[in-house]
Amino acid sequence: MSTRSGAESGVHFEPKIHYFCVRVNEKTFAFEPGEELTVIRGDTVRILDPRTNLSQEDERFLRIDLRGFQADSSPYPLEDRGHHINTATDLQEKYARPRGHKQTFALQARLRNKVFSESFIAVEEPRLEYLVLKEPEGGTFAAYPGDRLELPPHTVMTIMDVKSNVQPPCAVFLTMSGKTVRWDDAGSAGIDSTKLTEREAPLDVVRNGRSMGRIWVRLGERFRLTSRGDRSRPPVSPVRY
């Protein structure tokens, strides 16, 4: 027995997306139309099948379009499901809607090339919050982007943690004057003052080749941490670790 579509039978049918489904790195997120999913620039996203009220027949005409992404292999109309999208390189900023520190891209569901549902993926810049450093005596403290750190001779300051808006297991790297410092986990790297000069050297936290934040390090007569406002301070902002 054959069946007729809603249009043929005269029955009004309102297509609906119950939720969009997107995989970000190693996690999968479901969010409703009109909602916004925030990712960090450099994350890899993959658009999965949404949950809909469409019939199996209408599913054949469903297309999901992430505005700003164009895969070379995509037919027309666009179909963006299944592609591994690098948010640092694969999105065209001219399609973004600036919103504060984010760039928002529309995620649209189309049926027979007509948009009937829309949500958003917001791309936020990776940002260093602070470094957790450990003194030779054992105390730990926080150094924030823009801070200046002076170390006396023959001192090693251990790097205990990197706090940022980038979620593990995504890799971040440390560079000193552009050279990579090996750092995998707590205590695996440090700042050796015997390799410093009185000239300030940049210590950067890097993701995808771009600095997320920087502190400045130099050799001095005594230990001193200076804020961005150039007000000298003792090793405050202690951190339990």
Position 212 scores a pLDDT of 93
The mean pLDDT of 102-129, rounded to a whole number, is 95
The CATH number that applies at residue 90 is 2.60.40
SS (H, E, C) 53-114: CCCHHHHCCEEEEECCCCCCCCCCCCCCECCCEECCCCCCHHHCEEECCEEEEEEEEEECCE
199 and 99 together in one domain: no
Mean pLDDT of the chain: 86
Q: Is residue 2 part of a domain?
A: no
Domains in the chain: how many in total? 2
- For 3-34, what is each residue's pLDDT tens digit? 444 444 444 579 999 999 999 999 999 999 99
94 and 169 together in one domain: no
What is the Cα 61 distance to its own chain's centre? 33
Position 220 scores a pLDDT of 93
Quote the domain boundaries for residue 71: 9-124
Position 189 scores a pLDDT of 80
Position 77 scores a pLDDT of 59
Q: Which residues contact 37 (CB under 8 A, 6 or more apart)?
A: 20, 22, 24, 29, 31, 119, 120, 121, 122
95 and 144 together in one domain: no
54 and 99 together in one domain: yes
Q: Is residue 239 part of a domain?
A: no
117 and 192 together in one domain: no
Res. 143: pLDDT tops 50: yes
Q: Is residue 4 part of a domain?
A: no
Place of tokens 């469903």: 62
Q: Lowest mean pLDDT: which of 21-25, 36-40, 183-187? A: 183-187
152 and 195 together in one domain: yes
User: Which pLDDT band holds residue 235 (cuts at 50, 70, 90)?
Assistant: very low
Which of the pair, 130 or 189, is modelled with greater confidence?
130
- For 62-115, what is each residue's pLDDT tens digit? 999 999 998 776 655 578 999 999 999 999 999 999 988 899 999 999 998 899
